[in-house]
Amino acid sequence: MKRTTEAAPVLAFGAHPDDIEFGCGAILVQAARAGRRVHLVVCSRGEAASNGTPAGRAREARQAAALLGATIEFAELGGDARFERKSRFARRLASILRRVRPSVVLAPSVEENQHPDHAVLGCLVRDACRLARYGGVRELRRQAPHAIGQLFFYAVTPEAEPVTGGRVLIDVSEPGVVARWIRAMEAHASQLRTRNYVELQVIRARLNGLRAGVEHAVPLFPSDPPLVGSLAALERAARRFLARRGHDLHFISYERPFRLPVGAPRLHFHPVVINDYELFKYPDYTLPLSVKMAEVARDHALHVLHVHYAVPHATAAILARAMSAPGREPRVVTTLHGTDTTLLGRDPGYGPAIRHALMRSDAVTTVSGWLRDETRRLLDVDCPIDVIHNFFAPKAPARSRADVRRELGLRDEAMIVHLSNLRPVKRIDLLLETAARIRPRESFKLVICAGGDFAPFAGLVRRLGLEDRVVVRPSVFEIEDYLQAADLGLFTSESESFCLSLLEAMWFGCPSVSTAVGGIPEVVTSGESGWLVSGADPGALARAVETLLGDPARRARMGAAARRRAEECFSAGAIVPAYEALYARVVAAPRAPVLH
C-alpha cells in the first residue's frame, strides 16, 4: 500500500543552474529549515549563456543547493536553449517524480518570457506530474505510481508572472531566511557580472511582502486553481473548524485540495492513483477511489466516510464499505450539491446508480430544501434526507477597497460583481443582457470573477456595446478582495441548489439582485437582504439594479441585513454542529446489514 506523509519532499525543477535560486530560493530555504527534504533538478548546464562555463555553472549550482539546504541532480533535456515539449522528456521527469515522491513540486512558469526554456520546462513538468500517477505507462512500470500533492509555478523574472489566474504569497520573513537566500543567489557569481539580479529578486520579495503586510513574500502560481463559487471555500472552512473541535479528518482525492495546509494537526491527505491501462479505453477513477477509501478506513479506523456528490463518490463509498471487515464498516454520509440530482439524476445511464447509492447511504443531506424535494421527485427515493445548508468562513481581504477599485479602473462608478464558473446554467447571456439595459450606462461597471472560460461571451459583449462596462478577472483566488470592494451582486442563474457565491457576497455586506430560482429564496429574504426577480427577465433585473444603485441608503440597509443573515444562519458556528450531530447519530445507530 502506498503511503504519503506530511513530511514528503519538496521537488524543484529549473531549466538553468540559477533559475531555482532566483525564482523560489527563499521558499526552499524555509522548507529545509522546517525539516522538509528539498531536492533540485537542473535540466541544463547553461552552456548557451554569455557568462560562465558549463563546468563552472554546475559547481555554482551545487554550492547554491548546499546553501539552500537541498540536494541536487542534473537531468539534461536536449541542451540549453533547445528544450522541446516531447513525451520522452516528460517521461524522464515523471521517472524522477516517482523516485523522489514529492508532495509539492515547483517548476518555472509556463508564461512566455525572455527565455523559452522556462515555459517549455513548466509544460513538461506539468505533463510529467500527470504521467507519474498513471500506472499503465509502459516505460515507467518499474516504478510505483505517485500522485503529487500540488504543482506550483514560480517566476524567475517579473515578466514570467502569469497575467491571468491567481497567485499565493509565501511569507519568507522568518529571521535568517532572506539572508541565506541571498547567499545562495550570490553563489552564481558568473551570472552577476553584468546585472545585479540578486537585488532585483529581493526588491520583488519586499514589494510582495508590503502587499501582504509582511517583510518579504515570494509568489507562487498554482497549476490547478479551484473554481470561483465552488465548494472550495466551504470545504476549507469545514476542515479547519472540525479539526479545531478535535476531529481527525482524512481527505481522499486524486489531487491535494488547494487550500489544505501541509503539516496541520488532525488534517491528512491520501491521494488516489489513477491507472491508465491499455486494455481500457478510458482511465477508471471509481474503483481506485473505492479501494483507497477502504484502505484509509481500515488503517485509520474511520467512523464516517462523508462524500460530496453522488457520482462517483457515493458509489465508491458504498463499495468501500462492502470491502471492510464485518463490524468495522464506516458509516456513509452522502451530501448532494445539485448537478448529481438535477442533471445526472435525469440521465438513464446514471440515475439508477445514484438512487442505489443514496438508498444504501447511512445518511443523505442536501444543501437546500429545494434540492431535497427535487431529489425525491427525480430519483423516487424514500430515504430520510437532512437539509444542512452551505456556509462560508471568509478570510480577511489582502487589499483595501481603494486598491481594488484602482486596479479595476473604477472612479465614481458602482461596482457590480458576479462570481461563477460560467457554466450554461449560470446564464451569462442573461447577465450581459441585463447589464446592457442598466441606465445610466456610465453609472456602473460589471466585474466578472470567472471560474471558467469567458472567451465564448466576448462576441456578445461587443454586440451589446459593453466593452467599457465589463471587466473580467479569470481564476480569482482573492475573492474577498473583490467582494469587499463591491456595491452590488448580480446573479442570473436558471437553476441553483444554493448559490454559494451569493452567500459570499452577503458576508461582506454586499446585497444582490438575483433570479428567484431553486434554493436561492432560502438564502436571501427578498426585500430585506437582497432582491429576487421571478423569471429570466433582463428588464426586471435591470430595474431592480437601477433601484438599488439609485438609493444608497436602502442598499446599505440591505447590505447590513445580508451580513446579519449570513452570520446568524450560514456561519461555521451555525452549520458545522449540524454535521457533528449527524455524524453522532449515524455512528450510534444500529448497523444495517452489509453484503460482503
Residue 572, C-beta contacts closer than 8 angstroms, at least 6 positions apart: 237, 238, 241, 391, 393
C-alpha–C-alpha distance, residues 352 and 350, integer Å: 6
> What Cα–Cα distance (Å) separates residue 433 from each residue in 297, 430, 514, 526?
50, 5, 14, 22
pLDDT score for 241: 55
C-alpha–C-alpha distance, residues 558 and 525, integer Å: 10
pLDDT score for 226: 40
Q: For residue 424, is the peptide bond before it cis, meaning its omega torsion is within 30 degrees of 0?
A: no
The position carrying cell 529549515 is 33
Do the Cβ atoms of 137 and 183 come closer than 8 Å? no
> What Cα–Cα distance (Å) separates residue 211 from each residue in 157, 171, 178, 394, 482?
18, 11, 17, 19, 15
Q: Please give, one letter per residue, the 3-state secondary structure of 419-455.
A: EECCCHHHCHHHHHHHHHHCCCHHHEEEEEEECCCCH
pLDDT score for 3: 31
C-alpha–C-alpha distance, residues 404 and 52, integer Å: 44
pLDDT score for 230: 43
Do the Cβ atoms of 302 and 330 come closer than 8 Å? yes
Q: Which three cell numbers stand for residue 264?
A: 496541520
Which domains does the chain possess? 10-222 (3.40.50.10320), 232-387 (3.40.50.2000), 401-570 (3.40.50.2000)
Torsion of CA 58, 63, 67, 73, to 10 degrees: 40
3-state secondary structure of 254: coil
Q: Which three cell numbers stand for residue 266?
A: 488532525
C-alpha–C-alpha distance, residues 354 and 581, integer Å: 25
C-alpha–C-alpha distance, residues 203 and 217, integer Å: 10
End-to-end CA distance of the chain: 21
> What Cα–Cα distance (Å) separates residue 391 from each residue in 236, 240, 283, 500, 520?
11, 13, 34, 8, 13
pLDDT score for 594: 55
Residue 289 amino acid letter = L
C-alpha–C-alpha distance, residues 141 and 144, integer Å: 7
Do the Cβ atoms of 61 and 17 come closer than 8 Å? yes
User: Mean pLDDT in each 10-residue stretch from start to end of the chain (596 residues)?
Assistant: 50 96 95 91 88 92 96 89 87 95 92 82 93 82 85 88 75 91 94 82 88 83 57 52 71 78 78 79 86 94 92 93 90 91 84 92 96 93 94 84 91 94 95 96 92 92 95 85 95 95 95 97 95 95 96 95 93 86 86 57
C-alpha–C-alpha distance, residues 289 and 296, integer Å: 11
Nearest to 382 by CA among 360, 361, 359: 359
Q: Are strands 363-366 and 531-533 parallel, antiparallel or unpaired?
A: unpaired
Residue 59, C-beta contacts closer than 8 angstroms, at least 6 positions apart: none
Write down the pTM of the prediction. Answer: 0.63
